[in-house]
Structures are given as C-alpha cells and as structure tokens.
Amino acid sequence: MSKHSKYIKVNLILIAVGFVIAVFLLANQPNVTQNLTEDTVIQKVEIPAEIAGRKEQIICHTGYTVSYNSDWKIPNWVAYELTKEEVGGAVERYDVFMPDPEVPSDESATTYDYKGTGWDRGHMAPAGDMKWSEQAMKESFYLSNICPQNKKLNSGIWKDLEEQVRELARQKGKIYVVCGPIVSQRPKTIGSNNVAVPDAFFKVLLQYENGNWSAIAFMYPNQSGRKPLSTYAMSVEEIQKITDIDFFPALPDSIEQKAESEVDFSKWNIKSDK
C-alpha cells in the first residue's frame, strides 16, 4: 500500500472515531430546555437583546443596568434582579438627582430640564428597591434612570406596582425586572436638552418557581387614572411588539416562548383588582 493510501486510511479512521464520540456525547447531553434551573441559567438573564436602530449606551451600576438613549436623554430600559434580602435593606432615601457620570455631559439631561414643567422625575429602577446599598441608592437618582412622568401616575398606580414587586421578591426570593418608557417617533420634549416625554411606561417581570419560568408585563399610559391592575397587564410577547425590545434572550427559545406568551396572575400572587 502506498504512503498516500495509508494516509487516507488513517484519516478516515480518525474521522469515524470522532463521529462516534460526537454522537455519544450528544446522546448523553442533558436536555437544556428541561433542566434549565435558576442556578444554571447564565448571569444577567434580565438583560434584553441589543436594540436595532436606536441609540443605546449600556451602563452597569451597582443595583441595575441601564440602556441609555442619548437622543431621548432617558433610558431605553432599566433591568435588575430584586431579592428577598435586598428588599429588607434599611438605607435611607438619597433624594439628590444628578446626571449619570458615565454619560457624556452633552448627551445628558439636567435637573433644570424638569423644573417648572409639571412632570415628575420618575424612577425606572425605584429607590425603594435599592435600600440594600448606599451606592445603589445614590445611583438610582442618576438621570439616566429617570423619565418625565405624570405626577399622579408616579405617586399612584406606578408606585403601587413597585410595592407589589417588592412583596413578590419577599415571597418568592428573587424577581427579575425590566422597565422603561414607550416613546413615540416625534415625542414631546422638555427643557433645553430636549428630554423626551414618554407616551407610556412598561414593566416586565420574570420569575423561576417550582421548576418553571414565568413572565408577565404591564403597560401604563403616562397620565393620571386608576383602574384595576389587570387592565394594564399583558403578555411579554405583546409588549415586545409595542416596544421593539427582545426580552430575556438568554433563555432557551422553548422556555422563552412559553413564558412570554402567557398572562397568568395565579403564578404571581399579585392583587389584580387593586
């Protein structure tokens, strides 16, 4: 047998052995879809996918991650996890609003943009969720985490939902939260820096309980009014279509699709008629 023939034969044997090993490994690979638990999911499951066609500066702070939009001077979204231990924190409210030092000054809102406008400086990641750390509390007042928000909404049903999320974290141990504004193509603006005024706000929740992942979304018009919480609830699938944001891309598709297609209050212990 020629050297060339021997070379080909050896290579064929190696390929065959490699194929058998690959088949064996795949056959014994655990079913990711069935065995994905909260402990094995990749970190930062709450972080949405990159948003196409929109300004986006990702900033990681102590208590939350923000996707900042320099065109709007407000966030695209703010995401964080909230645990039972964090809800039990006792840090006092900081109450000093300031530009985010990670945002270039010419791309940021200032506190003067809000003065005399009638709009509240509405938190996305609320200060009440950051009582576990003085630094997290301080950073929750960065203007990259703030939007112009209707006063009655901010102190009313939006605040009610924030309180219910904290109660959920106490009960369930951990909740993943993504929230932010819904902004029109030509939004109303305030201040010399043209800070966009949102038409509405969204909040998306994800939890892992009893071996299952579940999600739910809420959308509130940026105006006064009070209706039962169930009025504002929808599936994550629906809010994705409205916001053009892909939530929870780290989850396997089959789990993500199931969780994002449902609106099941029985899984959440939320007072839907409040």
Strand order in the sheet with 65-69: 57-60, 65-69, 74-83, 174-182, 200-209, 212-221, 233-234
Q: What is the mean pLDDT of residues 162-168?
A: 96
Whether the pLDDT of residue 39 is over 80: the answer is: no
123 is catalytic: yes
How confident is the model at residue 274, as a pLDDT? 59
Give the per-residue pLDDT at 78: 99
The dihedral formed by the CA atoms of 52, 56, 57 and 63, expressed in degrees to the nearest 10 = -100
H-only helix segments in 140-212: 151-155, 157-172
Predicted confidence at residue 1, as pLDDT, reads 53
Question: Which amino acid is located at 217 in the chain?
Answer: A
87 vs 28, residue with greater confidence: 87
> What pLDDT is attached to residue 150?
98
User: Mean pLDDT, to the nearest integer, of 57-77?
Assistant: 98
Tell me, what's the pLDDT at 36? 53
Question: CB neighbours of 258 closer than 8 A, spacing ≥ 6?
Answer: 213
Token digits for 220? Answer: 């509130």
Instruction: Tell me the mean pLDDT in the region 57-74.
Output: 98
Report residue 24's pLDDT band, with 50, 70 and 90 as the boundaries. Answer: very low
Is 93 a residue whose pLDDT tops 70? yes
Q: Quick: pLDDT tens for 7-20.
A: 444 444 544 545 54
* Longest CA span, the chain: 92
C-alpha distances (whole Å) from 36 to each of 225, 248, 251, 252, 253 are 40, 14, 9, 9, 12
Q: Which of 123, 138, 166, 203 is flagged as catalytic? A: 123
What are the residues whose beta carbons fall under 8 Å from the beta carbon of 218, sequence distance 6 or more?
161, 202, 203, 204, 229, 232, 233, 234
pLDDT confidence tier of residue 21, bands split at 50, 70 and 90: very low
At residue 271 the predicted structure's pLDDT band, cuts being 50, 70 and 90, is confident
pLDDT > 50? residue 119: yes
Residue 263 CB neighbour total at 10 angstroms: 17
Q: Which of 133, 110, 121 is nearest to 61 (CA)?
A: 133
Phi, psi of 170 (to 5 degrees): -65, -45
Q: For 183, phi and psi rounded to 5 degrees?
A: -120, 135
| pLDDT at residue 41 in the model | 54
Stretch among 26-35, 157-166, 199-208, 237-246 having the lowest mean pLDDT:
26-35
Mean predicted confidence (pLDDT) in 141-162:
98
Given this model, what pLDDT does residue 266 score?
87
| Average confidence (pLDDT) over 119-130 | 98
Percent of the chain with pLDDT over 90: 80
pLDDT at 42: 56
Give φ, ψ of 94 to 5 degrees.
-85, -50
β-pair partners for 147: 122
Distance of CA 50 to the CA centre of its chain: 12
Give dist(CA 156, CA 123) in Å, integer.
13
